Structure 1
């Protein structure tokens, strides 16, 4: 029988073979066998910790380190990594600082782990710095180079999605993928997507999807793992289609990922959120279920901060669509505490107030929010929109002027003279009857756009000049309008709109030049038009008005004759007979109605000696002892009205009264 040392040596040899071949389950069993023979074998314990990490059993690895390596720092990096994978970021950072203080120069693995922790905490700028440092000090032939590049692009993508103002435009526009790794292509595409470069993102994602599928298929990877790897790329590609307006293509990919049964919490949460965004106000009940799936504890632990922010905002909008205003406001207020820089949340609060028919309160809320964020153009524009909906252009003008005065104080001319802002300002001046100010604003804007070299390649100066010239034409300043339109025509002789404006101006000041430019306009080509078809397609016009008249005779328009509808008569109706005028009355209300037994009941009623018609001999009023009734009965007056029967509120009471009457009749005799 072999000694224990020989057994341990043999087991270590087997452990080395299984570890190199990736058989982690077998490696774990071999580690346990060695520890059973030698409980304090440090090498076996370290191998077991690494094997547990490779198997994803991070909690068990932490427990083993705490028991066997309590005062030993040899597994500090493994312990930090386990903290990171179990989302215990704060203990991981504290331990990382301790290890860095003990090392004079931190090694590559420690820096890589630090960058991962910073990325997990959404500290993208510092993570980018460390990843860039690692990338510069790593050879391109090293196997770790592509992984560093993947993480670097992921950090840049996270920064672009969370805050585009802080992202470096050079990192965005100079993304060059020099590798065949689909992970690198995926992160590069996501970076393009975060910066609005949808077409570049789409091309790289489609390429990454194909490369991933082909490579994993060639490696005989199980279909479940292929679907799980492709689900991330496919979901990002579907989101790109969604941003491009290709909703059907996006929904098809979302549904295919759902049907594949991929058990990825983050992917399923993002798909649920994106489907809710596509539906908007449709299928609200199903959208509620999908939002719940996107806000579970498991999803919260896996999603990034900017992703959770978007999902929570969509949840508040869903409450708004379902008219749950209190829930909408409560959630939006909680989100503002987490993301105070997000101005969209303030718009959600104002929308909830406005939909409760409190327009003035919504405007006041927006003004209060604008005081906290005076540079927010979105809040100002939302305030102006609500004021215009209330038909208050003067108040809207005051709101815009207060914003522009703040921009003017900062001497930010580029922000001040944005075409959209100038167009709105001029329109508000027109609505409030301040044409001179509108003209002055357009003149200043035109002068600025002509001098600014950054906008030479854009259509902003042309649009401003056209708006200025058109406004001068409307206000009767024909000479100035002609001068502006002439500059536009010189810049682009093919601009038919500018030529038409120039002709309109010259008609008032120089008809000869107007005729000259009028001859330069191209003739309107009507050969390709089908006139009869156009006439037939005119909506709301009857066929008689669009029919072609072959003769030159004038058509006489006959007055419309109203058709009389025949009266509805009952079956077997005889016109010779006069209809009963009381036929519409209920039977009880007709003059011919006689209640059963009414004459008998009336005999014993009335005081003694009262006059009863035809009651006694010679009409003396005494009882009719002759035994005969009156020969004639007076017909009841047709004017006499009887009350319609009412529902018996207390049926038991009426039956008791009937019983009492019967007893009285018996006792009388």
Structure 2
């Protein structure tokens, strides 16, 4: 027994990365004679990890018990991580005393479990002096950039404060690639495209990689390039990138699925939708630890529903989306939840956007008044038709039902910054300035009662700036409080500083005298402005003036078009319809449409005709005898005019 243990130790001392099978065999020999030999167990799990046999590693840990889990906590956490048990892996690594190695495992497990805030905190703690860390420093920079990119994809934190790549970040293809992903997630597509080209060039010229490794590393860069070009609508360049991507060479199924999705997007206009649907669902699903991040799986699910709608699988989309929505919180402001509602609505109306479809969706909204995705769908359809008033009414009605609810979650949904911004945008289209101010004040009042971590800075900034121009002292007091809160959250925010000074300038100037001195002088702000050039360029017009001018121009165009149309109509008169004596140089008689006897130029002939004309003339001399006979005839006074002539019966 002792000799065997000694031989195992000797073997471990001279082991290299090539002989893990030998270590495993020696460990098994020792464990046959002593199942509780903890060093042999430890050696066995290390060998199994080196051989990528993670399931077998976990079985050894479970059979050995807590003693081995305590001694080899880092190995145990790593095996859990590789088997997809991410939260357990992070917890085991956090409790272990494995030093920096355990921290790396915890950060990586947190990253894959989408706990990016924890991963970022760990990596910030591990970062230090470059000379002391050596090669670990470069790995930490790569992982830090990857974490930042994921937080941007998930919309965690303030996008405007995301860091920009430094010079050292552009010296390796890994950091350039991750910085490019962060730019794409932030919406800076041009910067992302430039960084991806930089990463590709650095990878191709790297002397540390073999040709096989270069090919493996270039694949994800090409896939991300394809995504960037598709988003920008550069389909011709995207088709060139497609030629560089070989799906058969991609080992990870999740990466292959994403690559195939992006390729199909570039080809969807030239492929029959039924063939496209078949190809999309032919891709294999990832397994084990090879999983999608949530934003990736959500996007693929949405694309699947879109393809189902194209091949008219309406009933299937209704059933699948309704089933998924039944498991989600209600109401919800989660983008994916609302996207499911939109696909559900599209399937119910068979993709139509006419008035009949809108009325059908409004009937559905009566049964689901708090379905935010459905509400936004109807609002969009109304706005697309130019019916802003109906869009406002629908959104206000739904928000009112949320506002009247006693649920705190419903209240949070009611004053969600996204929904508030949609309502304000609709108010702006209708010029309802007072409604905008009231809505911002209500939203700010709600969020002021919440914790500082929950308060949306963008909404508070908009509310503070709007209320600053109010003549109501209560609104001005709210503006002062909001600007004070914004200053505490970010002392370097110049907007908050300027607003804070402006809010107190008219009521308590002494209170902001110190901050006033910090602000730059107006002379310094306009010192580089060319006044002569501004004067020669002219005074810019307001939106109202531009709208009025546009109306005048539109009216002039209508008149010109009408005149032109009239001219065309005159030219189209056929000669056969013109009188024989028609002279285009003479002005037509304006009374030509009146009967001949009603025209001013009419002159009756003969005595009787002149007499009738005189009788019709207003203001002429009245013949009393004639008038008496007329009245007697009208009343049946026995005149011979009223008698009928005798005739044959």
TM range (shorter): 0.5 to 0.7
**Whole-angstrom CA distance in 2 between matches of 1:286 and 1:144:** 48
Q: Does 1:176 align with 2:175?
A: no
**Whole-angstrom CA distance in 1 between matches of 2:261 and 2:341:** 21
The root-mean-square deviation of aligned C-alpha atoms, in Å, is: 4.9
Shift of 1:6: 8.3
Aligned to 1:494: 537
Aligned to 1:246: 234
Instruction: Give yes or no for contact 2:375–2:394 (8 Å, CA) kept in 1.
Output: yes
Structure 1 residues 12 and 350: CA distance shift in structure 2, 3 A: closer
**Whole-angstrom CA distance in 2 between matches of 1:29 and 1:48:** 10
Shift of 1:248: 2.3
Structure 1 residues 391 and 204: CA distance shift in structure 2, 3 A: closer
Aligned to 1:287: 276
Q: How does 1:383-462 map to 2 (within 5 A)?
A: 383-387=378-382, 395-399=390-394, 421-422=426-427, 424-426=429-431
Structure 1 residues 197 and 504: CA distance shift in structure 2, 3 A: closer
Structure 1 residues 153 and 338: CA distance shift in structure 2, 3 A: farther
Structure 1 residues 349 and 8: CA distance shift in structure 2, 3 A: closer
Q: How does 1:131-530 map to 2 (within 5 A)?
A: 131-136=123-128, 141-162=133-154, 164=155, 166-169=156-159, 172-176=162-166, 178-179=168-169, 180-215=171-206, 218-219=207-208, 221-223=210-212, 225-258=213-246, 261-280=249-268, 282-294=271-283, 296-298=285-287, 301-336=290-325, 337=327, 340=332, 341-342=334-335, 343-355=338-350, 358-366=357-365, 371-373=370-372, 380=375, 382-387=377-382, 395-399=390-394, 421-422=426-427, 424-426=429-431, 494=537, 498=541
Per-residue Cα deviation, 1:425-445 (whole angstroms, up to 9, x for no partner): 25xx9xxxxxx999x99xxx9
Per-residue Cα deviation, 1:154-210 (whole angstroms, up to 9, x for no partner): 222222212x2x323365244436243322221121111111011111111111112
Per-residue Cα deviation, 1:600-650 (whole angstroms, up to 9, x for no partner): xxxxxxxxxxxxxxxxxxxxxxxxxxxxxxxxxxxxxxxxxxxxxxxxxxx
Shift of 1:262: 2.5
TM-score normalized by structure 2?
0.57
**Whole-angstrom CA distance in 1 between matches of 2:201 and 2:80:** 35
Instruction: Give yes or no for contact 1:316–1:328 (8 Å, CA) kept in 2.
Output: yes
Structure 2 unaligned regions, length at least 5: 404-410, 439-461, 470-478, 480-493, 497-531, 553-567, 576-649
Structure 1 residues 219 and 8: CA distance shift in structure 2, 3 A: same
Q: How does 1:7-26 map to 2 (within 5 A)?
A: 11-15=11-15, 18-19=16-17, 24=18, 26=19
**Whole-angstrom CA distance in 2 between matches of 1:195 and 1:126:** 21
Relative to total residues, which structure has the larger helix share, 1 or 2?
A: 2
Question: Larger Cα Rg: Structure 1 or Structure 2?
Answer: 1
**Whole-angstrom CA distance in 2 between matches of 1:500 and 1:90:** 55
Question: SS state of the match for residue 132, structure 1?
Answer: helix
Instruction: Give yes or no for contact 1:34–1:44 (8 Å, CA) kept in 2.
Output: yes
**Whole-angstrom CA distance in 1 between matches of 2:60 and 2:31:** 16
Structure 1 residues 362 and 261: CA distance shift in structure 2, 3 A: same
Which residue of 25, 30, 34 maps to 1:32?
Answer: 25
Shift of 1:381: 5.0
Q: Which has the higher contact order (CA 8 A, sep 6+)?
A: 2
Instruction: Give yes or no for contact 1:277–1:314 (8 Å, CA) kept in 2.
Output: no
Structure 1 residues 277 and 75: CA distance shift in structure 2, 3 A: same
Instruction: Give yes or no for contact 2:93–2:103 (8 Å, CA) kept in 1.
Output: no
TM-score normalized by structure 1?
0.55
Q: How does 1:567-646 map to 2 (within 5 A)?
A: none
Structure 1 residues 120 and 33: CA distance shift in structure 2, 3 A: same
Structure 1 residues 354 and 503: CA distance shift in structure 2, 3 A: closer
Shift of 1:304: 0.9
Shift of 1:78: 0.4
Aligned to 2:101: 109
Q: Does 1:54 align with 2:46?
A: no
Shift of 1:112: 2.3
**Whole-angstrom CA distance in 2 between matches of 1:268 and 1:11:** 41
Structure 1 residues 64 and 502: CA distance shift in structure 2, 3 A: closer
**Whole-angstrom CA distance in 1 between matches of 2:237 and 2:24:** 51
Instruction: Give yes or no for contact 2:20–2:50 (8 Å, CA) kept in 1.
Output: no
